[in-house]
């Protein structure tokens, strides 16, 4: 079955462009033209990916993203205006997987779509060990489960992959560029803040079960490492 993609945008030229190129790539495409319709379609159609514009009638993209993240782990790529810097960062912190700035390159957007879908799809464990332990942390790639001293962590697919990558290299510093290649799965030539936002969300969830210490440490000017 082809992946189902929900396109949420109120600009007809953008919608037509996205629908045409996504259907050419053999994706099943569903369209919503405002925030309320987006939530309805997301619940009814259960898409594999949502391309979500931030500037929407009735309910903006940030509210849609926030509501969706409370309900399910569906990958989200945001479409943002060039000058919406604050909204862009907030969207990433709310749980969007990536963003593309308008006006965008169709080739770039399609590459992002493919990358996000590949990461979210069920897959065989890599050659890397299925179960990785770092101190009180246990990350099981085969079961897609992560625990801290037996307490299960509720993570999105992106957050799980990021934690698994850090756990595999516990004690080592990984640059943002290294994390992008290993976790996002493509050579990212845009804003490295997608890594910072994902780290921030992951830290927030880790603090709920391990409030006594910071498990993910920032090494200034270099990157991040998991202390375990």
Banded model confidence at residue 68, pLDDT cuts 50, 70, 90: very high
Give this prediction's pTM: 0.72
Nearest to 17 by CA among 97, 96, 79: 79
**pLDDT given for residue 125 in this prediction:** 47
**pLDDT given for residue 189 in this prediction:** 53
Greatest Cα pair distance in the chain: 52
**pLDDT given for residue 127 in this prediction:** 46
Ramachandran quadrant class, 221 (left: phi over 0; alpha: psi -120 to 50; beta: rest): left
Higher pLDDT among residues 68 and 83, named by residue: 68
- 101-158 confidence digits (pLDDT tens): 888 889 889 988 988 888 777 655 444 568 899 888 999 988 889 999 888 998 988 8
Higher pLDDT among residues 35 and 130, named by residue: 35
Q: Which two tokens stand for residue 19?
A: 């629908």
Name every residue whose Cβ is closer than 8 Å to that of residue 65 and which is 6 or more positions away in sequence. Answer: 52, 76, 78, 91, 94, 95, 96
**pLDDT given for residue 116 in this prediction:** 85
- Across the range 159-175, mean pLDDT stands at 92
Q: CA–CA separation, 216 vs 20, rounded Å?
A: 42
CA dihedral 121, 124, 126, 128 (to 10 degrees): 120
- 11-21 confidence digits (pLDDT tens): 999 999 999 99
Banded model confidence at residue 83, pLDDT cuts 50, 70, 90: low
Higher pLDDT among residues 107 and 30, named by residue: 30
Q: CA–CA separation, 142 vs 88, rounded Å?
A: 33
pLDDT at residue 164 greater than cutoff 50: yes
């Amino acid at each position: 079955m082809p992946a189902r993609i929900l396109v949420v945008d109120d600009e007809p030229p953008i919608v037509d462009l996205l629908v045409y190129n996504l259907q050419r790539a053999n994706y099943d495409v569903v369209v919503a033209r405002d925030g309320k319709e987006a939530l309805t379609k997301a619940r009814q159609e259960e898409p594999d990916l949502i391309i979500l514009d931030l500037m929407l009638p009735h309910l903006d993209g940030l509210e849609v993203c926030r509501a969706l993240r409370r309900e399910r782990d569906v990958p989200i790529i945001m479409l943002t205006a060039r000058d919406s810097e604050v909204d862009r960062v907030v969207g990433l912190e709310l749980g969007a997987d990536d963003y593309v700035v308008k006006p965008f390159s169709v080739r770039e957007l399609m590459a992002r779509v493919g990358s996000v879908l590949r990461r979210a799809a069920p897959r065989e464990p890599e050659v890397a060990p299925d179960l990785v332990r770092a101190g009180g942390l246990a990350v099981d790639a085969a079961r897609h489960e992560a625990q801290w001293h037996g307490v299960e962590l509720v993570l999105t697919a992106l957050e799980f992959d990021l934690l698994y990558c850090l756990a595999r290299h516990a004690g080592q510093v990984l640059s943002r560029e290294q994390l992008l290649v290993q976790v996002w799965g493509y050579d990212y030539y845009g804003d490295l803040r997608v890594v910072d936002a994902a780290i921030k969300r992951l830290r927030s969830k880790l603090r709920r079960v391990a409030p006594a210490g910071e498990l993910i440490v920032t090494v200034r000017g270099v990157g991040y490492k998991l202390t375990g």
